[in-house]
């Protein structure tokens, strides 16, 4: 069997953390099994779908390195949906219902008031042809429901949740087509999965009850259902389901300087007991991906953890990988010098400003004489070799200083900061003339 997975976002907004995780896991599973990862744009809702969001979804997946083998759009497949819909109507598995939203709401309230589950009572099935004709003559347009088979329980083996059992008699016949003719999610998704040969559906556990309904739709359409993996939902760092996670998107990660490698490394392992490591190459993530490793407990997404992981990945990035994002004149030596002190690649520009100058150094105060001595010594050392250690050794001999009193005033005068990259790597980049000017000015 060829493994084919799909990521099916609705183009009503930007991708958020949960979407990214779903896309990544579908992509990883397809990669591990030599299969295909597809993008399906669920744009049946014409009023809310926007082309700019389709473009942003494509761009976000490309930035993350999750390139689909193919793309389909539901808005281009309405003829297929109608044909399969008509087949189910003819077979008696889809039927018209005429209750208004207000009538259905009243029914639910009455059932709840009686301590009963708010399940649709199938009153529409009791209507005669004459009843339906009268309603339609009065201008009442029907919505359409899929008729569940109550004869046997719905069961499947979920790749994460294990054995699943649902009693269809406790579930409402789902609406599949609105009165205005527009499609709801349930049936078109099943038709697409059959037509596209989807072998595995990977999505959040909030879809578990949808899966139970859709399994009967697969059967009614004469197709075997795909394998399903329902993942535990993400929680925020505060320990409960976070509304913020639904708004944090790829655009915000990019603006914050988060690397795609960091997002992949974290979300590939989140929800497993496997360690989250600063993996730049996707190969280890692909090789280690296994639904059996994922637990059913909510997975905790911590933006602070992502930031720490991002910094560790930045420390491994080569100059070639980041050159286009650095100041134009910044070369490999400068990148390698400042890289260990960066949390994001963008911070390299701050250190390039320190190298190029000018810097705003604090007043020398009681170190003024020491820095004047440093300027004099700096003018005599060999700048072709290791000027930092040569300067420090000469000043130690002349002044008797050592440790922090020796090094900190020099760092402050040369960089304007108390902390930063190794001065042995930084000082040659600052260069003799700039260094002498900064020490003398102090």
Is 107 known as a binding-site position? no
Strand, coil or helix: 55: helix
Nearby residues of 256 by Cβ (< 8 Å), 6 or more positions away: 307, 344
Q: How far apart are CA 234 and CA 271, in angstroms?
A: 9
Helices (H) and strands (E) in the chain, counts: 19, 12
Q: How far apart are CA 87 and CA 89, in angstroms?
A: 5
Record the tokens describing residue 45, joined without a space.
Answer: 């809702």
Record the tokens describing residue 105, joined without a space.
Answer: 């709401």
> Residue 324: is it exposed, middle or buried by C-beta count within 10 angstroms (0-12/13-18/19+)?
exposed
- Element containing residue 18 per DSSP (H, E): helix 17-32
Q: How far apart are CA 193 and CA 199, in angstroms?
A: 8
DSSP 8-state assignment for residue 381: S
Residues in the chain: 442
| CA pseudo-torsion sign 14, 20, 23, 28 | positive
What is the number of other CB atoms lying within 10 angstroms of the CB of residue 270?
22
Which residues line the annotated binding site?
Answer: 243
- Which segments are annotated as binding site for ATP? 243
């Amino acid at each position: 069997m060829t493994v084919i997975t799909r990521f099916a976002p609705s183009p009503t907004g930007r991708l958020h953390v949960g979407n990214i995780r779903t896309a990544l896991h579908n992509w990883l599973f397809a990669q591990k099994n030599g299969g295909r990862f597809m993008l399906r744009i669920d744009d049946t809702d014409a009023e809310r779908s926007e082309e700019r969001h389709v473009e942003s979804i494509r761009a976000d997946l490309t930035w993350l390195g999750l390139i689909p083998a193919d793309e389909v759009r539901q808005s281009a497949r309405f003829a297929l949906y109608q044909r399969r819909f008509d087949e189910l109507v003819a077979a008696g598995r889809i039927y018209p219902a005429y209750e208004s939203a207000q009538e259905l709401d009243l029914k639910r309230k009455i059932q709840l008031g009686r301590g009963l589950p708010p399940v649709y009572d199938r009153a529409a099935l009791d209507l005669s042809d004459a009843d339906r004709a009268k309603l339609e003559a009065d201008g009442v347009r029907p919505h359409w429901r899929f008729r569940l088979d109550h004869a046997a329980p719905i069961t499947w083996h979920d790749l994460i949740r294990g054995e699943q059992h649902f009693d269809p008699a406790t579930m409402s016949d789902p609406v599949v087509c609105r009165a205005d003719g527009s499609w709801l999610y349930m049936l078109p998704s099943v038709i697409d999965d059959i037509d596209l040969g989807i072998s595995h559906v990977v999505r959040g556990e909030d879809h578990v009850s949808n899966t139970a309904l859709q399994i009967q739709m697969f059967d009614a359409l004469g197709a075997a259902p795909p394998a399903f993996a329902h993942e535990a939902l993400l929680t925020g760092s505060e320990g409960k389901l976070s509304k913020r996670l639904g708004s944090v998107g790829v655009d915000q990660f990019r603006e914050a300087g988060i690397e795609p490698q960091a997002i992949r490394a974290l979300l590939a392992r989140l929800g497993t007991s496997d360690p989250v490591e600063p993996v730049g190459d996707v190969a280890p993530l692909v090789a280690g991906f296994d639904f059996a490793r994922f637990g059913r407990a909510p997975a905790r997404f911590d933006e602070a953890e992502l930031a720490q992981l991002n910094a560790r990945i930045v420390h491994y990035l080569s100059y070639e990988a980041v050159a286009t994002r650095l100041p134009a004149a910044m070369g490999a030596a400068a990148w390698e010098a400042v890289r260990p002190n960066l949390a994001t690649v963008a911070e390299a520009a701050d250190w390039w400003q320190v190298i190029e100058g000018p810097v705003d150094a604090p007043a020398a105060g009681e170190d003024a004489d020491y820095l004047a001595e440093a300027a004099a010594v700096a003018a005599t050392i060999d700048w072709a070799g290791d000027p930092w250690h040569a300067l420090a050794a000469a000043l130690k001999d002349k002044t008797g200083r050592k440790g922090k009193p020796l090094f900190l005033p020099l760092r402050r005068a040369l960089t304007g900061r108390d902390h930063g990259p190794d001065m042995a790597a930084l000082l040659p980049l600052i260069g003799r003339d700039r260094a002498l000017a900064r020490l003398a000015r102090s």
